[in-house]
C-alpha cells in the first residue's frame, strides 16, 4: 500500500470562545459613559462600581435593575443606545494585541466564537470596526437565544454552531458572569485581568486560570497560565 497517497487528516484544535467588551475591546469607559448618559437627570442612578458588576449581562436587564418603575426601562434603554450609536466608532478600540492574537489563533486552526451580552447587530458592528470580524465566524449575542449569560445556553449555542464539543474548549472573559456561563457549560475558563473586573471578583467565580495580557493567550492555551483558579 502506498501510504503517501492516503489523505492526511490533522486533529482539529479545540475552540476558543471570547467575551467581547472588556475582553477583546477596550470599551468599559465607553459603557460607563453611556450608562451615565442614560440616567442623567433621572435621579439616583447606578454608581460606576454597580454598573461594572452587571457588565456581561443583557443591557435591558441591567437597566431594569436600577429603574424606579418598569415603565421607565424603555426610555432609559433608548437613551443608552442613542449615546452608544453616536459615539461607538470614536470610543471603541481593540485592546493592544487583541487583533493579532485572535488572527494568530484563527490561522493556527482554532475555531473561534464571541459570546457577548450585546445584541448580535451591535456585536457585529464592534467586531467590524475593530478589524476582528474576519477571524470570528460565530457571534452569539444576548438576542441569539432565550437565556443570556450567566446561563450556559449562549456558550452551548456557540459550540454547536462551531460544530464542536466541550472537550478542550476554553471561554475567555473579564466578568464573573462569563466565568459562570463557561463553567456551567462544562468548558475551561480563563479570567481576563485587563478588563472590567478585578482579580478578587473574578476569583470568586473560580476560573481555571487567570491571564494578565491577551498576547499571552496562545501560551496559556498550551498550559503556560499565570495561575490557577
> Mind telling me the catalytic residues?
19
**d(Cα 110, Cα 162) in Å, to the nearest integer?**
10
Query: Of all helices (H) and strands (E), which one includes residue 104?
Result: helix 98-107
CB 195 within 8 A of CB 166: no
Buried b (16+ CB within 10 A) or exposed e, 174-201: bbbbbbbbbbebebbbbbbbbbbbeeeb
Specify the 3-state DSSP secondary structure of 95: coil
Q: Report the SS3 class of residue 158.
A: helix
Amino acid at each position: 500500500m502506498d501510504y503517501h497517497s492516503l489523505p492526511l487528516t490533522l486533529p482539529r484544535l479545540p475552540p476558543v470562545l471570547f467575551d467581547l467588551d472588556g475582553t477583546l475591546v477596550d470599551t468599559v469607559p465607553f459603557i460607563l459613559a453611556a450608562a451615565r448618559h442614560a440616567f442623567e437627570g433621572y435621579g439616583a442612578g447606578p454608581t460606576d462600581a454597580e454598573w461594572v458588576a452587571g457588565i456581561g449581562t443583557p443591557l435591558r436587564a441591567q437597566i431594569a435593575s436600577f429603574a424606579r418603575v418598569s415603565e421607565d426601562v424603555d426610555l432609559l434603554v433608548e437613551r443608552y443606545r442613542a449615546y452608544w450609536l453616536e459615539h461607538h466608532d470614536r470610543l471603541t478600540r481593540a485592546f493592544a494585541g487583541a487583533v493579532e492574537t485572535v488572527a494568530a489563533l484563527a490561522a493556527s486552526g482554532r475555531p473561534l466564537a464571541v459570546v457577548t451580552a450585546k445584541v448580535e447587530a451591535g456585536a457585529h458592528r464592534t467586531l467590524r470596526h475593530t478589524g476582528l470580524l474576519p477571524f470570528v465566524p460565530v457571534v452569539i449575542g444576548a438576542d441569539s437565544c432565550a437565556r443570556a449569560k450567566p446561563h450556559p445556553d449562549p456558550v452551548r449555542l456557540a459550540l454547536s454552531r462551531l460544530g464542536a464539543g466541550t472537550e478542550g474548549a476554553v471561554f475567555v472573559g473579564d466578568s464573573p458572569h462569563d466565568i459562570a456561563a463557561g463553567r456551567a457549560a462544562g468548558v475551561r475558563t480563563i479570567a481576563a485581568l485587563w478588563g472590567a473586573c478585578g482579580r478578587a471578583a473574578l476569583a470568586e467565580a473560580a476560573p481555571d486560570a487567570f491571564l494578565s495580557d491577551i498576547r499571552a493567550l496562545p501560551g496559556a492555551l498550551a498550559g503556560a497560565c499565570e495561575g490557577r483558579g
